[in-house]
Amino acid sequence: MIRKYCIALALLLCWGRNVLAHEADAKHTDAEQAAIYARIPPEFSFSVGTYSTARTGASRAGEYDLLEDSPTLSGEARIYSFPHRLHLDLDGKNRKDYFGEIGYGYRNLLLFRGYNRTLFHNLDNIELIDLDSTVSPPAVTRNDVGVNYGVKTAMNDLYLKFRAPRFPLHLYLAGQSFNKEGKVQQRFLSGSAWFNDRERTSRSRQIDWRTRQYTVGINSHLGYLEADLSHGEKRFDAGGDNVLYDAYNRAGFATTLRSADTYPHNRIAEITGSSNTLKVHTTYTGRLVASATLTTKEKKNDFSGAKADYLFGSGNITWMPINKLTVFLKYRRIHRDLDNPGSITVSGRNGNLYQDLTVRRSISAVTDTYSGGIRYRPVADITLRTGYTFERIDRKDAEPWGIVDKTRKKTLTVSGESRLQKNLRFKAKYTHRETANPAYNTDPAHADEGAFSITWIPRTGIHTLLHYTLLREARNNLLFFDGDGNPIDGTDDRKTQRDRVLGSVSFLLSEKLTLTTSYAWFRNRTTQDIVYTLSTTPFPDRIDPGVPYKDSAHSYTLNLSYAPRKKVRLNTDITRTTTRQDFAPGSPALREPVSIASFSKQRIRETRFHLGGEMELRQGLRLGLDFEYTDFNDTQDNPHDELEDGIIRILQLNVTKKW
Amino acid sequence: MGVIRSLPFILIIYTLLLPACGPLKVPKPILPIAEYERLLAGRLDADYVGTDQCLSACHFHDQIRRDFDASTMGAQLSEETGLPLVNCESCHGPGSLAIAGLTPGKVARDARAGKQTPCNYNTFIPIKELPAQAKSLICLKCHTGNATFNLHDWNVGEHAAADVSCLDCHNIHAGPDLKVQTEEIAGMCFSCHPEIQAEFFLPSHHPVPEQRVVCTDCHQQHGSPYGKSLRRETVKETCTKCHGEKEGPFLYEHAENTEDCTTCHRPHGSVNNNLLALQMPFLCLQCHPTHQTQQTETDGSVRDLKGAIFTRCTDCHSRIHGTDTPSVGGTSKGRLTH
């Protein structure tokens, strides 16, 4: 740490000397300053108003809104008193939802920017359900009935830059912090967790999580070459209930016996890390441009001692041999080296130890990615692109996890775009990927993706868009592992398909009125085997082949912008989204007496309406209106799922004065 | 690795040597670009006439002048500020042909008549007609040494490859601050990526439409060497910027799955809660067998266990992103239950 302070001090001293020297050279009288810098009157605005909410049912409809009434306060100031420049911006809806920004510049020698965004996230209180009460266990214990959950999240960014006068050198300090504070639901397994004494439990936990990251860096350009060197420190601190304690019964096999006691669980560990980054690149003013980045990161789990070392490297060359042709060459390397202590001991509050438990080594890997591509523009309105990527993944310590240690991926991409006519533009892209030895069932062996979009302006004032994407993936040789680590081969191929459609039409009905309608359709379909076991002795693993899963969504949007008078603006949006998701196991063992898909069957209809308006009055006065209505409707009313109906209404009114 | 660890010492040496770099302390263009600009203007006889011929004459009273005066570049219009000199011709090219034939008297007469004296705009660099890469070059010839260094990978980024130029997002004459304001970002991105905007209509989504999170929190619009134009090296590095509690490393990892959050989550929006790619338990059953659905008792009878296990997997496997506590079931196989 002392070394880092020395570096920062040396850099600041160097910058300070340069600034003082510059000040001595550039002293001017007030009159001269006035001649050099233009006089610009400052701008101020100030706004007050109200934020009113009404809620019926669950808060999900207003997921990112604090649902309580509040006065609002906003203001903005832009002051150009050269060589100083100051910008302040504040927008406060309520005590947990506000935005603030401050910017200050002194000549081009110092630049400071700070942001704060704070929001409130309403979280679900999911009701644990005993799907088959005729059978015991499980027991279900809800210790949080009626508790409202939510987290206030504050995101802060700070950026401070010094520039050396008359020399292309910058020192900078960047800081980020993310603070989450509130109450969340914790669902976990208690009892003995053994089949005769299993208990699904929910309770609340207070959180106060803080992620902080600081980066100090220096950069300069030295002729044709530019370089940036930075060092970063990152820390995650877990406050609040960072570890939970609950009573557990005696559990397990005789060989791995754990005595009854009050044990810790669901611990949130503190993480520390640091990074060093070196970036270099050539200037952009030539036909040949090259850049490279090398980053090393170290992370450590302060509780368990688990460590992770990363190396990220990239090199890029862009070459334009002739004006119509550009060649791209890229190389990436990610080296991940994970290490853990290999064993752990857990202490109960009454002194019982659950000790020397062996821990599997985590998987380390090296991923090298080589890419090449060209962009060719034969004529002005046609652009063609093609690229090829080869990815090589070599894993270490993967075998105990039942994962292959080598995977190879090859990807070919072809795309093009053209202005077929003056009012018609067409874009298309096709990607094909082959994977040898995919590591996980979700990794496809073959994948094809095609997309196109057409923009058409049939006549002045009408703008249309059609976009479609289709992704198809397939693989065979699905592999599962049972509770004892024995491999189970799937029987059918896994197939997935994803469709995305977007259509949009905009009408410029008059100079005062614009109407935009759009429709989007999403569909995911996956078909694959499900593996299950009926009885304990022996383990006859069974396969339900080709189980189909499907989810889909339709979304309709209408937007109307209307400016009836020069100083009056109205804008309204209506969006209705309907979704449905389900999967259908074929085996009776997975369907009776209760289905494994029982709470996956969901249908949602969400309607959002927004009306915004603004009217300018005299002497810089402005009236603003903002109304939101959201209806989140669980149309399936499946008693097993976590969805609940809710309607929220939020009205904001404000008066703004501008000077 | 030794080289990397010694980087701080290199930094100190670099800093201490800096005052000795006197001869370099002269602002100058990286490459001679005047000839290049003349070529773009199409007339080698065009010459540079200085800002006074532009802003102090025809554009003296208009908004362009006021916006520029309020910006860093505006301050750079005056040589006495000591800043690197930037003026109208730095972007628009030599202006001598544009003002040929204009006299101070005519400008003054027009001003008295309340009208702006038009110059011959056709003799400037035809910026609007240039290909995207050439438009960006107008900015990059100075901003390549940007202090934030966010243009480090501009040339290999998705935007540069897709013929997007700086001017598509930054309206140079729109106001004193060329920086895109936070509340403008999503709309600007969605104007070219409407199919991504549609994903935010889904019931579970990051609060981008609500303007609490912006696209550039995750994506580096100025070019990134990493996939999907991510601001950080990997998906995990990007997500754990905000979700630090899931970063790890942990004693018990979820194999490699937490290295790529998109294995289970759709970052923009999803029909499923918590941005899940598929609904549980099918999501988990893609890789894992379900638990045994029955148990044989000591008396030989078979007991049904479906009520216990047919539920959300994360009701019991509550540390699915990794944990430091072994499972409660009497084994230490990393079940991610606690």
pLDDT tens readout for residues A164-185: 876 778 899 999 999 999 999 9
Closest Cα in chain A to B84: A166
In this predicted structure, the answer to whether residue A14 has a pLDDT above a threshold of 50 is no
Q: For residue B284, name the pLDDT band (cuts at 50, 70, 90).
A: very high
Contact A266 B296 (CB under 8 A): no
pLDDT of residue B24: 41
pLDDT of residue B28: 43
pLDDT of residue B305: 77
Q: Is A588 on the interface with B (CB under 8 A)?
A: no
Contact A256 B332 (CB under 8 A): yes
Q: For residue A15, name the pLDDT band (cuts at 50, 70, 90).
A: very low
Q: Is B200 on the interface with A (CB under 8 A)?
A: no
Q: Is A29 on the interface with B (CB under 8 A)?
A: no
CB-based burial, A579-603: b 16+ in 10 Å, e otherwise: bbbbbebebebbbeebbbbbbbbbb
Q: Where are the beta strands (DSSP E) in A110-260?
A: 110-123, 139-142, 149-163, 169-191, 198-222, 225-240, 244-248
Contact A533 B293 (CB under 8 A): yes
Which residues in chain A are contacts of B141 at CB distance < 8 A? 284-285
Least confident residue range of A72-76, A341-345, A408-412, B277-281: A341-345
In this predicted structure, the answer to whether residue B3 has a pLDDT above a threshold of 70 is no
Q: For residue A565, name the pLDDT band (cuts at 50, 70, 90).
A: confident
What span, in angstroms and rounded, lies between the C-alpha atoms of B159 and A88?
Answer: 31
Nearest alpha-carbon partner for A361 in A392, A403, A406: A403
Contact A310 B233 (CB under 8 A): yes
pLDDT of residue B254: 93
Give the mutation candidate from B52, B179, B200, B212 for the A interface (greatest A CB count, under 10 A).
B212
Give the mutation candidate from B193, B328, B331, B337 for the A interface (greatest A CB count, under 10 A).
B328
pLDDT of residue B31: 43
User: So what's the ipTM on this one?
Assistant: 0.90
Q: For residue B329, name the pLDDT band (cuts at 50, 70, 90).
A: low
Q: What integer best gives the mean pLDDT of chain A?
A: 88
Contact B70 A85 (CB under 8 A): yes
Contact B155 A318 (CB under 8 A): yes
Residue A17 inside a domain? The answer is no
DSSP character string of B4-18: HHTHHHHHHHHHHHG
User: For residues A626 and A253, which has the higher predicted lDDT (pLDDT)?
Assistant: A626
C-beta atoms surrounding A32 within 10 Å: 12
Identify the top-confidence range among A189-198, A323-332, A364-373, B105-114: A364-373
DSSP bridge partners of B135: none
What span, in angstroms and rounded, lies between the C-alpha atoms of B212 and A97?
Answer: 9
Q: Which candidate from B24, B207, B338 shows the least CB-CB separation from A167?
A: B24
Q: Is B316 on the interface with A (CB under 8 A)?
A: yes
pLDDT of residue B331: 61
Residue A297 inside a domain? The answer is yes
pLDDT of residue B33: 57
Contact B287 A330 (CB under 8 A): no
Q: Is B318 on the interface with A (CB under 8 A)?
A: yes
CA of A135 vs chain B CAs: smallest distance (Å): 7
C-beta atoms surrounding B129 within 10 Å: 9
Residue A370 inside a domain? The answer is yes
Q: What integer best gives the mean pLDDT of chain B?
A: 79
Peptide bond before residue A321 is cis, with ω within 30 degrees of 0: no
Half-sphere exposure (Cβ direction) of B291: Cα atoms closer than 13 Å: 18
Contact A169 B154 (CB under 8 A): no
Q: Is B149 on the interface with A (CB under 8 A)?
A: yes
pLDDT of residue A134: 66
pLDDT of residue A408: 97
Q: Which candidate from A193, A231, A296 shows the least CB-CB separation from B328?
A: A193
Least confident residue range of A16-20, A370-374, B195-199, B330-334: A16-20
Q: Which candidate from A108, A172, A195 shows the least CB-CB separation from B305?
A: A195
Contact A271 B325 (CB under 8 A): no
In this predicted structure, the answer to whether residue A614 has a pLDDT above a threshold of 90 is yes
CA B234, B238, B243, B244 torsion: positive or negative? positive
Q: Tokens 């969340």 map to which residue?
A: A184
Contact A480 B252 (CB under 8 A): no
Domain positions in chain B are 34-125, 248-290+305-338
Closest Cα in chain A to B9: A7
Closest Cα in chain B to A582: B279
3-class DSSP string for B91-159: HHCCCCCCCCCCCHHHHHHHHHCCCCCCCCHHHCCCHHHCCHHHHHHHHHHHHCCCCCCCCCCHHHCHH
CB-based burial, B292-329: b 16+ in 10 Å, e otherwise: bbebeeeeeeeebbbbbbbbbbbbbbbbbbbbbbbbbb
pLDDT of residue A130: 78
In this predicted structure, the answer to whether residue B194 has a pLDDT above a threshold of 60 is yes
Residues in chain A: 659
Least confident residue range of A472-481, B75-84, B211-220, B250-259: B75-84
Contact A169 B18 (CB under 8 A): yes
In this predicted structure, the answer to whether residue B325 has a pLDDT above a threshold of 80 is yes
Q: Is A346 on the interface with B (CB under 8 A)?
A: yes
DSSP character string of B187-236: HHHHTT-HHHHHHTTSSEE-STTTTSS-GGGTB-TT--SSGGGBSSSSHH
What integer is the mean pLDDT of A543-563? Answer: 95
Q: Show which of residues 157-186 on chain B sit within 8 Å of chain A, judged by CB atoms.
A: 161, 163, 176-177, 182
In this predicted structure, the answer to whether residue B306 has a pLDDT above a threshold of 50 is yes
Residue A425 inside a domain? The answer is yes
Number of A to B CB contacts under 8 A, please give it: 488
Half-sphere exposure (Cβ direction) of A579: Cα atoms closer than 13 Å: 30
Residue numbers of the domain that contains A415: 281-344+357-439
Q: Which candidate from A187, A258, A308 shows the least CB-CB separation from B318?
A: A187
Nearest alpha-carbon partner for B59 in B74, B45, B48, B72: B74
pLDDT of residue B110: 80
Residue A117 inside a domain? The answer is no
Which residues in chain A are contacts of B295 at CB distance < 8 A? 195, 535-536
Q: Is A93 on the interface with B (CB under 8 A)?
A: no
What integer is the mean pLDDT of A327-344? Answer: 93
Contact A154, A117 (CB under 8 A): yes
Closest Cα in chain B to A228: B149
CA of A617 vs chain B CAs: smallest distance (Å): 23
Q: For residue A568, name the pLDDT band (cuts at 50, 70, 90).
A: very high
pLDDT of residue A21: 41
What integer is the mean pLDDT of A565-570? Answer: 91
Q: Is B301 on the interface with A (CB under 8 A)?
A: no
Contact B201 A557 (CB under 8 A): yes
In this predicted structure, the answer to whether residue A491 has a pLDDT above a threshold of 80 is yes
Which residues in chain B are contacts of A500 at CB distance < 8 A? 195, 198
Which residues in chain B are contacts of A296 at CB distance < 8 A? 1, 4
What span, in angstroms and rounded, lies between the C-alpha atoms of A416 and A414?
Answer: 7
What integer is the mean pLDDT of A294-314? Answer: 96
User: For residues B115 and A186, which has the higher predicted lDDT (pLDDT)?
Assistant: A186
DSSP bridge partners of A54: A649
Peptide bond before residue A438 is cis, with ω within 30 degrees of 0: no
Q: Is B248 on the interface with A (CB under 8 A)?
A: yes
Q: Tokens 């702006």 map to which residue?
A: B116
Contact A219 B145 (CB under 8 A): yes
Q: Is B29 on the interface with A (CB under 8 A)?
A: no
Identify the top-confidence range among A232-236, A341-345, B162-166: A232-236
What span, in angstroms and rounded, lies between the C-alpha atoms of A391 and B112?
Answer: 69
CA B170, B172, B174, B177 torsion: positive or negative? positive
CA of B132 vs chain A CAs: smallest distance (Å): 12
Q: Is A524 on the interface with B (CB under 8 A)?
A: yes
Contact A229 B18 (CB under 8 A): no
User: For residues A606 and A168, which has the higher predicted lDDT (pLDDT)?
Assistant: A606
Which residues in chain A are contacts of B24 at CB distance < 8 A? 167, 222
pLDDT in tens, B214-264: 999 999 999 998 889 999 999 999 999 999 999 989 999 999 888 899 999
What integer is the mean pLDDT of B136-145? Answer: 78
Which residues in chain B are contacts of A539 at CB distance < 8 A? 292
In this predicted structure, the answer to whether residue B328 has a pLDDT above a threshold of 70 is no
Q: For residue A411, name the pLDDT band (cuts at 50, 70, 90).
A: very high
Contact B145 A220 (CB under 8 A): yes
In this predicted structure, the answer to whether residue A196 has a pLDDT above a threshold of 70 is no
Q: Is A518 on the interface with B (CB under 8 A)?
A: yes
Q: Which candidate from A276, A551, A606 shows the least CB-CB separation from B279?
A: A551
Angle at A236 between CA A230 and CA A240, to 5 degrees: 160
pLDDT in tens, B9-46: 555 655 554 544 444 433 344 445 566 666 566 666 77
Contact A131 B310 (CB under 8 A): yes
The total number of structural domains in chain A stands at: 1
Least confident residue range of A222-236, B295-309, B311-325: B295-309
Least confident residue range of A7-11, A536-540, A564-568: A7-11
CA of B235 vs chain A CAs: smallest distance (Å): 12
What span, in angstroms and rounded, lies between the C-alpha atoms of A526 and A600?
Answer: 14
Token pair for A234: 């990152």
pLDDT in tens, A84-110: 889 999 999 999 999 999 999 887 788
Give the mutation candidate from B233, B254, B284, B336 for the A interface (greatest A CB count, under 10 A).
B233
Contact A628, A610 (CB under 8 A): yes
Q: Is A535 on the interface with B (CB under 8 A)?
A: yes
Closest Cα in chain B to A96: B212
